[in-house]
Amino acid sequence: MKIAVVVGTRPELIKMAILIKRLKELNEDHIFIHSGQHYDYFMDGTVIDNFSLPQPDYNLKVGSGSHAITTSKVMKGVEEIIEKEKIDTIIVHGDTNTTLGASLAAVKMNIKIAHVEAGLRSFDRGMPEEINRLLVDHIANYLFTPTDIASENLKKEGITNGVYRVGQTLVDALDYVSKNFESIDFLNSLSLESKNFYFVTVHRQENTDDPLRLQSILKALRYIADQSNNPIVFSLHPRTKRKILDYHLFHLIQSKNIMILDPPTNFINSVLLQKNAKAVLTDSGGLQEESCILGTPCITLRENTERPETIECGANRLAGYSTDKLIHIVNTIDSDNKIWSHPYGNCGVSQKVLEIINNTHK
């Protein structure tokens, strides 16, 4: 059996890093494909360095583009590699255009698809990610879910064969970081005190492509920074930076209490910042999980989430993009003092995924 792992973005690479390492340890002939959907070193190249991963066997260099262009480029590139390398199974992750493109190429060529982080649902089909995860789940042969809720979502859609509740591979990544990178030098270099600052990321299309929505979020951040004694550390995604400049909104984040990390910081520093933050404010699905696992309250800058487990356990709150609502929720964080147990399982998820594939492949 010959397996190919296909990733294309920073979040995918983070969550698949340990699986890629284990796969290459099993057999160097297994293939690591990067679509190049994220192509900035500060977005994904640092992840390869942080986890000491091998360079991809193939980089499709699809770059940025519309959903259709990106997906079609990935389909074409992965199809050619499947044929050349005689691949039997591809492993994809999550909900990106890379995941959809690779899966469509595989199903058309009648090879098996393993979908890691299957079963997540926001129930908002206006989100392109929701369409991607729905389509991939319905053509995958192996569906590796992180939680019982994800498994139940699949069951409600009639998907019961090949479903394995394994936990979240992110737990493996965070365990690797905690064991190999415990220094707080980065915090000290920014003159930050633990639990005395907010960590912020914004990047999703629905927030960045709507100038009024983005303005509303930035106004809230400015108010919080100016009115509290807690500085904001804003890890600035390239897409968000471009939109802020396009909409002439940069003045809203020019404050002595807003520290802008441009380019965005690497995964190790992001974990350190989340672990030590008073709260995380984000529209990222991955950071909702990361902060939940790390024990830091999360305020999600969206009106829905495909990670309802984080809300049910008390780790996360939905704030949407309203300036007033966001400020109100931030102001109530201190009074909560909630302690929760995260629902994402123990370490060893990546190894479990590979064992299931090897033991059941026919």
pLDDT in tens, 70-112: 999 999 999 999 999 999 999 999 999 999 999 999 999 999 9
Q: What is the pLDDT of residues 157-193, one digit of tens each?
A: 999 999 999 999 999 999 999 888 877 788 999 999 9
CB 22 within 8 A of CB 350: yes
- The DSSP secondary-structure symbol of 57 reads S
φ, ψ of residue 89 to 5 degrees: the values are: -145, 135
Alpha carbons 94 and 355: distance in angstroms, whole number = 20
Q: Is 192 left (phi over 0), alpha (psi -120 to 50) or beta?
A: beta
**CATH code, residues 3-168+345-360:** 3.40.50.2000
Active site residues: 203
Residue 345 structure tokens: 């399982």
Q: What's residue 282's pLDDT?
A: 98
The residue-averaged pLDDT of 353-357 equals: 97
- For tokens 């600035």, the residue is 236
Q: What's residue 243's pLDDT?
A: 96
Is 41 a residue whose pLDDT tops 60? no
Q: Which ranges in 181-284 belong to alpha helices (H)? A: 185-189, 205-208, 211-227, 238-246, 267-276
Sheet holding 279-282, edge to edge: 258-261, 232-235, 198-201, 279-282, 298-300, 316-318
Give percent of the chain above pLDDT 70.
96
Q: Please tell me whether residue 200 adopts helix, strand or coil conformation.
A: strand
Q: What is the pLDDT of residues 141-154, one digit of tens each?
A: 999 999 999 999 99
Q: What is the pLDDT of residues 269-289, one digit of tens each?
A: 999 999 999 999 999 999 999
Question: The pTM is what?
Answer: 0.91
Q: What's residue 221's pLDDT?
A: 96
Q: What's residue 38's pLDDT?
A: 65
Q: Please tell me whether residue 164 adopts helix, strand or coil conformation.
A: strand
Residue 329 structure tokens: 């929720």
Helix 349-360 and helix 10-26: axis angle, to 10°? Answer: 60
Residues of the chain with CATH 3.40.50.2000: 3-168+345-360, 183-336
Q: What's residue 45's pLDDT?
A: 65
Alpha carbons 352 and 126: distance in angstroms, whole number = 33
CB 237 within 8 A of CB 203: yes
Domain 183-336: what homologous superfamily? Glycogen Phosphorylase B; (3.40.50.2000)
Give percent of the chain above pLDDT 90.
83
Query: Which pLDDT band holds residue 46 (cuts at 50, 70, 90)?
Result: confident
Residues in the chain, how many? 362
Mean pLDDT taken over the chain: 93
Helix (H) or strand (E) holding 279: strand 279-282
Q: What is the pLDDT of residues 206-253, one digit of tens each?
A: 999 999 999 999 999 999 999 888 999 999 998 899 999 999 999 999
Question: Which of 209, 204, 219, 195 shows the shortest CA–CA distance to 279?
Answer: 195
290 Cβ contact list (under 8 Å, min separation 6):
170, 174, 270, 271, 274, 280
Q: What's residue 65's pLDDT?
A: 79
Query: Which pLDDT band holds residue 13 (cuts at 50, 70, 90)?
Result: very high
